[in-house]
Amino acid sequence: MEVLWLAQEEVKSVVDMHSDMQVVERAFRQHGLGKVQMPPKSYLYYTAYNGDLRTMPAYLEEEDITGVKIVNVHPGNPMRNLPTVMALIILISPETGAPVAIMDGTYLTDIRTGAAGGIAAKYLARKDSKVIGLVGTGNQARTQLEALCEVFEPETVKINSRTKESCEQFIREMADFVPCEIRYEDRIEKVCDCDILVTTTPSRKPIVKASWIKEGTHINAIGADAVGKEELDPELLIRSKIIVDDMVQALHSGEVNVPLSKHYISENDIHAQLGEVIVDLKPGRTTEEEITIFDSTGLAIQDVATAHMVYERAVRAGLGRQVRMF
């Protein structure tokens, strides 16, 4: 038996944001209709190394697609010249349980997370949104911005990160992808004066104050994806309409996990899952003034749907190499 092996450059060569937003939105739609099997992420915590490992299986029943992602998060890795996040995705035949393809999932994780943020903003942000604010300028920020530019026509992008140098690098690298000015701001408060705010940091204490957010703002809260992480002032969650990607995962490790544990909010304060909004089971934004928050933990259905698209395109293009298993 042979399995198709796809390296990162091969994955990159066949995936694009426009197409991925389509397959990821379809996956969220199936999630909203209850047509997926997806247990919550399971975690191993490497406390001595400030890192963790996660396994993420999923089965999209309607499309008969299944697989699992193995992914780490080690914030100290850049000091070792390694990515903070590294991932491997295994596609599996639902019929036999045999592995079909193994591929790099590091870039795929970035692009599918960006796709989810773009889809969330499509359903939750004001249609006339023109100013985007980014807190954090890593790989996640890049794909978030790329996805938002698929949905909106921004006039200004404002950014802030831990260092001015990282912001300057972000501006250089994204200049050709964004049809407007990208401007460094020396304070997060200035970045928060926007229509769509994206936070992509590994913070374990709030860095965005409620008083900085004006009415009508949409927020993609991306960084909190493990127990104890939070980027937003709990008072902001109290003021806002909260939409999560998946209820079980969000309660455990999303932006809402710390405010829930400290009883600032309750599970009843969470309005909906994104898939429920997409299939019209629950409303999204209902007024121009309300603040909406998308709490993204990252779902295995996003990975499996994207990986399947990559696999099909790679086979047509003759990419990858067959690895013999037995």
**CATH number for 254:** 3.40.50.720
Q: Please say whether the dihedral angle defined by the alpha carbons of residues 94, 99, 105 and 111, taken in this order, is positive or negative.
A: negative
- State yes or no: 190 annotated in a binding site: no
pLDDT of residue 88: 97
**Is residue 7 located within the same domain as residue 83?**
yes
**Is residue 219 located within the same domain as residue 309?**
no
In a domain, 139, yes or no: yes
**Is residue 282 located within the same domain as residue 311?**
no
Average pLDDT over residues 294-299: 97
pLDDT of residue 326: 87
Nearest to 90, CA basis, from 57, 60, 113, 62 = 57
Read off the pLDDT band of 235 (50, 70, 90).
Answer: very high
- State yes or no: 224 annotated in a binding site: yes
Domain with 274, as residue range(s), is 119-298
Average pLDDT over residues 253-277: 96
In a domain, 281, yes or no: yes
In a domain, 191, yes or no: yes
In a domain, 165, yes or no: yes
pLDDT tens digits for 40-50?
Answer: 999 999 999 99
**Helix, coil or strand: residue 277:** helix
Average pLDDT over residues 214-224: 97
**Hey, which residues does 134 pair with through a beta bridge?**
159, 198
**Is residue 99 located within the same domain as residue 136?**
no
**Is residue 173 located within the same domain as residue 222?**
yes
- Six token digits for residue 47: 């406390």
CA 290 to each of CA 101, 120, 132: distance values in angstroms, whole numbers, following the listed order: 44, 15, 17
Share of the chain above pLDDT 70, in %: 100
**Quick check: is 35 catalytic?**
no
**Is residue 176 located within the same domain as residue 62?**
no
CA pair distance 115, 144, nearest whole angstrom:
7
- State yes or no: 223 annotated in a binding site: yes
pLDDT tens digits for 179-210?
Answer: 899 999 999 999 999 999 999 999 999 999 99
- State yes or no: 220 annotated in a binding site: no
Burial of 275 (0-12, 13-18, 19+ CB in 10 A): buried
In a domain, 240, yes or no: yes
**Is residue 230 located within the same domain as residue 99?**
no
CA gyration radius for the chain? 19
CATH code of 102's domain: 3.30.1780.10
**Is residue 238 located within the same domain as residue 178?**
yes
Total structural domains within the chain: 2
Read off the pLDDT band of 84 (50, 70, 90).
Answer: confident
Cβ neighbours of residue 287 closer than 8 Å, sequence gap 6 or more: none
Read off the pLDDT band of 140 (50, 70, 90).
Answer: very high
Residue pair 174/142 in contact by the 8 Å Cβ criterion? yes
In a domain, 9, yes or no: yes
pLDDT of residue 213: 98
In a domain, 114, yes or no: no
**Is residue 53 located within the same domain as residue 182?**
no
pLDDT of residue 225: 86
Average pLDDT over residues 291-320: 98
- State yes or no: 139 annotated in a binding site: yes
Cβ neighbours of residue 263 closer than 8 Å, sequence gap 6 or more: none
Q: Name the active-site residue from 41, 69, 158, 241.
A: 69
**Is residue 131 located within the same domain as residue 68?**
no
Residue pair 108/89 in contact by the 8 Å Cβ criterion? yes
**Is residue 218 located within the same domain as residue 287?**
yes
Q: What is the pTM of this model?
A: 0.94
pLDDT of residue 246: 97
**Is residue 98 located within the same domain as residue 230?**
no
Q: What are the backbone angles phi and psi of residue 158, rounded to the nearest 5°?
A: -110, 135
Nearest to 223, CA basis, from 265, 190, 188, 253 = 253
pLDDT > 90? residue 34:
yes
